[in-house]
Amino acid sequence: MFVKLCDKNTLTVGEPKAFKVKGHEVIAVNVGDKIFCLDARCTHAGAPLAESTLNEEVLTCPWHYSQFNITNGVALRGPAEKPLKTYSVEERENFVFIDL
Q: Is 48 exposed, middle or buried (0-12, 13-18, 19+ CB in 10 A)?
A: middle
Q: Should residue 29 be labelled a site residue for ligand FES when binding is judged by CB under 6 A?
A: no
Q: Should residue 83 be labelled a site residue for ligand FES when binding is judged by CB under 6 A?
A: no
Residue from 8, 24, 44, 85 in contact with ligand FES (CB under 6 A)? 44
* Closest residue by Cα to residue 83 from 43, 54, 46: 43
Residue from 3, 45, 82, 90 in contact with ligand FES (CB under 6 A)? 45
Distance of alpha carbon 27 from its chain centroid, rounded?
A: 4
HSE toward the beta carbon, residue 21, CA cutoff 13 A = 22
- Which range touches ligand FES (CB under 6 A), out of 6-14, 25-33, 39-47, 88-96? 39-47
Q: Should residue 61 be labelled a site residue for ligand FES when binding is judged by CB under 6 A?
A: yes
Cβ partners under 8 Å of residue 46, min gap 6? none
35 vs 80 by CB, closer to ligand FES = 80
Strands 2-7 and 35-39: unpaired
Residue from 8, 17, 24, 64 in contact with ligand FES (CB under 6 A)? 64
Q: Should residue 79 be labelled a site residue for ligand FES when binding is judged by CB under 6 A?
A: yes
